[in-house]
Each structure stands twice: as C-alpha cells, then as structure tokens.
Amino acid sequence: MIIAEKKPIEEIIDEVKDFSRILILGCNECVTVCEAGGKKEVEILASALRMYFINKGNEKKVDERTLERQCDHEYLEELRSNIDDYDAIVSLACGVGVQFAAEKYLTTPLIPGVNTVCLGANEDRGLWTERCQACGSCVLARTGGICPVSRCAKRVLNGPCGGSTNGKCEISKDVDCAWQLILDRLKALDKMDDYEKIAPIKDWSTDRAGGPRTVTREDVKI
Amino acid sequence: MSDLNTASNLEKVLKAGHIGVTSECGPPRGSDAEEVKKKGMLIKDHVDAINVTDNQTAMTRMSSLAACVHLKLMGIEPVLQMVTRDRNRVALQSDILGAASFDIPNMLCLSGDHQSFGDCAQGQNVHDLDSMQLIQTVRHMRDEGKFLGGDDIKSPPKIFVGAAANPFADPFEIRVPRLAKKIACGAEFIQTQCIYNIDKFKEWIRRAADRGLTEKTFIMAGMTPMKSVGMAKYMKNRVPGMDVPDEIIARLAGAGKGKQAQEGIDICVEHIQELKEIKGVSGFHIMAIEWEEKVPEIVERAGLYPRPEV
C-alpha cells in the first residue's frame, strides 16, 4: 500500500491560516491503514485546528469528512454539492488523492495534510517500511523475491556493494542490506548459483526517468 | 593475459609478469591544481600508475577526470576512478571518451560511497548503472567499438579496465563469487580494499586461485599504512567493510607516542613482503591517505624499487 505520514501541524496551520471555511478530507484506503489520513486522523487534526484558531481569537469553520477513496472520480463526486461551502480543503490522502481532488475542483485550493513516503508494508506495530519503487519493470523473479531497487540505498543490481557489514547497509545499522536478504533467500531456495548471473543494464525508461507513466488497457476501456 | 589491449604502462608491467605498484591521489577541495601535482611528483617515480579518486566519501572535490589530466600532462600515468553514484550512462560514456582523448589509459569502476557520508547528504544519487555494469560498459566501448545505445564509436577508447574488490565485506562466502562476476564483466585488474587481516585475505585469494580467477585478472593488494592507533580504531569501527584485527591496534598502541606512525609504516612494509610471496598477488595498491610522501619509503623498503621499464 501507499505509506504516508502526517505533516507537522505548524506547516498545515501556516497553509490554512488565511482561510475561514476549511474541510479536512480523509481517505478510507491506504492512509487509513497506515494511520496517517483516515477518519481518526481527520478528527484529531480538525480538533487541533479548531482549538488553535479559537485560542488565537480567530475561530474558523473546520469540517470533517472521509471519503471511501480520493483516487476515484465516483467518490470524489460526493463532494460536489458542498464544495462551495469551503475556502480550502486539507486532504489527508496520498499525493494521488490530493491531485485527483485538485483536478476535479479547479477553483478550490487543495492542501496536502500528509507527506507521501513510499510503497510499503506494515512491518510491525508503528513501523512501515518500503518495499517497492514502482520502477515499472519488476526484477523480483531474479532476486529471490527481495527488491534491490527499493531496498538497496544504491539500487545495485549486482550487489552487495563493499559497504555491507553484518547484514546491514553502510548508511545505517538500522537498515538491512538488501543483498544480504537476497542472498539469504537464494540460499533458502537452494539457488545460490543464480548469484553469479549478471543482471543486465536496466531499462529505466519504465521508471520515473521515462516521464509520467500510464497504463492503457484497451480490453477494459468502455 | 599477454596481448596488450591498450597503451597502459600498468597493463604492460602486469602482463610482463612484474609486480605492479599503484598509489593514489585525492583531488583537492578547490580549484588549485598544485596540490594534486605536488602529490603526483612525490610518488611518480615509485609507482606504475596513480589512481585519482572520484569524490571519495561523497565529499565534493575537483573532478577526478580533471585531476587525471593534470597528472597526464606531467607525464604521469593516471588510473581514472569513476563512481556510478553521480553520473548516468550518458555522462559516464562521455567522460570515458574524454579520458581517452587525453590518453588516460586506465579506469577503476566503482559504485561510490553513499552520498549521506559527504557534504551533499540531501542530494540525489544516480546509480543508473552499477559498478559491474560500468565495467561492461567500458569493455563494450573498447572491444566492440560501440556505445551502449548501439551506435559505432569513432576511435573507441583504449582503456585498461579495473574494479575494486573487498575481501572483508559481508557476507564472506560470496566474496569470491563476486570477484568472479566482476571478472566475467571484464575486469582486467583488481585493486582490493585495505588489507590488515592477512589471514582472511590469504583465504580469499586461495579460494580465488582455486577457481582459476587469479589467472584471469591481476589482483593488486590494497595497502594503507596506519598513522596512529586512533586511525586504526577509526578504520575498525567507523569505516564500512574494513577489517582491522585487534593485534594491529595493540601493536600500534604498544609503539608509544611519537612512534606509532613509524610502526604503521613498518607493518605496511611487512605485510607487502609477506603478500609478495602469495600466489595470485600481482601487485600492490598503496593508498597512503594524505601521507603520499611515505609511498617512496614503503615501496623501497618492500623491495619494489626501482619500477620496471617496459
């Protein structure tokens, strides 16, 4: 899923301070699961903003709403009848949701309330970690199911580099060396011979290098 | 390994069966070339070629290629170090051609320390290619006379291609397979990480020799003299992939104040003398960090002077 984290409240206050009627808009998908932008976080942020501006003697209308998905026209349409009630929307969706809402409601300022971090998983309570960088050309079949593009700090395709120490990356003792993980998997799969296969130079045109990416499916078009 | 592919003196020395000697110069953190020229002058008569590091530890410095040109214009043979951290395949190929245009005949292909170690921790890294793919790229350009994109190169670059190997990084069991991969990619010479754990290095090169790898590439053992016990402790604890045994630290500490630097030189000389006798060691890469003036003493005492004329 998409992992996000809450922006510092000071940053949000600074962005909304000149608006009087604000909607805090949550999303019931990824950001709910990673506890950054679901119904609960909408309530907390809305309360904090209300209190802050009341204390400043500048009471504002701060409403709450959480859509099923913000990356979907159908659900974003639910706002249409109320959109003129607000001077600005603080969206707690990922960057996709914020932009989709901005594209739909051209004259309403859209302010992101979270930082979108990565494609990852909930590894432990309170810990989300990256697993994929959406490079557009998956190499996992050749790397024991562990991704060197997203999990190696140098995205080395023929690793590990010389900085791997005790299974950890040179950038931090808290970061696993992706290539150690790959080797552990290859060993478990009894495929260590695969290690000596040279990964060819990668076609990064499917990555961000190729510009904004699209998937077109004629078979599912109406 | 006898036919010459380039005009490299280092290639000639190694292929003639001599023990090769290289050293290195770090370019300055400024635009004055005098510093690199001075370092070059200090060591030029005691080595076959001089490596020029490429923004080592990710600290911004004068470009490796520019510093190589300064050395080359003084008649010194450089080994251009190039990391994949800072350049994409367009820039790498372009710099390879630029180096060849100045008759810089050697290159060492590296991935480079992560930028978080340096002065631009907030910068992007590139890693369009990795170090193995960079080796393949140079060989492809030289041997096939083609760019990665497939077009012909007018006057392909004649460059002797090297790679680094760290016999001590983890996991140890893939250190030799990793060397095999670099050789399969086209590495003609190898310069290793600084060696302090002699026994572990011997085990690594024995395994490499068992697989016939020492017949397919020239392995130059990396040597860095310790200036002090403080440096030894720093290398042991802070430098990724470095293996400094406790007895080295104890020996430096035992030398007492004022004598540690000399002890460090002595250890280095002893290590070279010991490793000279090991099958598969084709040369030495002496990295005297900001201590270039000691290279002549080390080379002479280790019995590697004068350098052969080939």
Q: Does A84 share its domain with A149?
A: no
Residue numbers of B between 93 and 122 with CB closer than 8 Å to A: 111-114, 116-117
Per-residue pLDDT of chain A (222 residues; tens, 9 = 90+): 999 999 999 999 999 999 999 999 999 999 999 999 999 999 999 999 999 999 999 999 999 999 999 999 999 999 999 999 999 999 999 999 999 999 999 999 999 999 999 999 999 999 999 999 999 999 999 999 999 999 999 999 999 998 888 899 999 999 999 999 999 999 999 999 999 999 999 999 999 999 999 999 999 998
Q: Is residue A103 in a domain?
A: yes
B-chain residues near A161 (CB < 8 A): 111, 131, 169
Q: Does A70 share its domain with A94?
A: yes
pLDDT digits (tens, 9 = 90+) for B221-266: 999 999 999 999 999 998 877 899 999 999 999 998 899 999 999 9
pLDDT digits (tens, 9 = 90+) for B278-290: 999 999 999 998 8
The edge-to-edge listing of strands for the beta sheet with A88-91 is: A61-67, A21-27, A88-91, A110-112
Measured between CB atoms, does B57 come within 8 Å of chain A? no
Q: How far is A179 from chain B (nearest CA, A)?
A: 9
Q: Does A57 share its domain with A138?
A: no
Measured between CB atoms, does A166 come within 8 Å of chain B? yes
Confidence (pTM): 0.96
CATH number of residue A41's parent domain: 3.40.50.2300
Instruction: Return the number of CB contacts < 8 Å for A and B.
Output: 91
Count of structural domains within chain B: 1
Q: Is residue B239 in a domain?
A: no
Per-residue pLDDT for B172 more than 90? Answer: no
Q: Which residue has the tokens 């540690």?
A: B260
pLDDT digits (tens, 9 = 90+) for B173-183: 899 999 999 99
Q: Is residue A138 in a domain?
A: yes
Q: Do A201 and B148 touch (CB under 8 A)?
A: yes
Q: Is residue B148 in a domain?
A: yes
Domain of residue B124 covers 9-226+280-301
Looking at residue A164, its pLDDT comes to 87
Q: Is residue A125 in a domain?
A: no
With CA atoms as reference, the chain B residue closest to A205 would be: B128
Spatial separation of the C-alpha atoms in residues B293 and B287, rounded to whole Å: 11
Spatial separation of the C-alpha atoms in residues A99 and A175, rounded to whole Å: 32
What share of chain B has pLDDT > 90, as a percent?
Answer: 94
CATH number of residue B285's parent domain: 3.20.20.220
Looking at residue B171, its pLDDT comes to 87
Q: Is residue A210 in a domain?
A: no
Q: Does A143 share its domain with A91?
A: no
CB environment B173-195: b (16+ within 10 A), e (fewer): ebbbbbbbbbbbbbbbbbbbbbb
Q: Which of A60, A84, A118 is the last residue of a domain?
A: A118
Q: Which residue has the tokens 């109320």?
A: A82
Per-residue pLDDT for B2 more than 70? Answer: no
Torsion B133-B137-B138-B143 (CA) sign:
positive
Q: Do B85 and A200 touch (CB under 8 A)?
A: no
Q: Is residue B307 in a domain?
A: no
Q: Is residue B236 in a domain?
A: no
Burial of B145 (0-12, 13-18, 19+ CB in 10 A): middle
Per-residue pLDDT for B41 more than 60? Answer: yes
Domain of residue A187 covers 133-200
In which band, very low, low, confident or very high, does the pLDDT at B1 lie, cut at 50, 70 and 90?
A: low
Q: Does A187 share its domain with A85?
A: no
* Beta-bridge mates of residue B293: none
Q: How far is B223 from chain A (nearest CA, A)?
A: 16
Q: Is residue B1 in a domain?
A: no
Per-residue pLDDT for B107 more than 70? Answer: yes
Pairing of strands A2-6, A114-124: antiparallel
Query: Cis omega before residue B306 (within 30°)?
Result: yes
CB atoms within 10 A of CB A41: 23
Count of structural domains within chain A: 2
Write the secondary structure of chain B as one string of H (helix), E (strand) and C (coil): CCCCCCCCHHHHHHHCCCCEEEEEECCCCCCCCHHHHHHHHHHHHHCCEEEECCCHHHCCCCCHHHHHHHHHHCCCCEEEEEECCCCCHHHHHHHHHHHHHCCCCEEEEECCCCHHHCCCCCCCCCCCCCHHHHHHHHHHHHHHCECCCCCECCCCCCCEEEEEECCCCCCHHHHHHHHHHHHHHCCCEEEEEECCCHHHHHHHHHHHHHCCHHHCCEEEEEECCCCCHHHHHHHHHHCCCCCCCHHHHHHHHHHCCCCHHHHHHHHHHHHHHHHHCCCCEEEEEECCCCCHHHHHHHHHHCCCCCCCCC
Mutate to test the interface with B, among A150, A201, A206, A208 (most CBs of B within 10 A): A201
Q: Which of A55, A88, A118 is the last residue of a domain?
A: A118
CB environment A167-183: b (16+ within 10 A), e (fewer): bbbbbeeeebbbbbbbb
Q: Is residue A180 in a domain?
A: yes
Q: Is residue B268 in a domain?
A: no
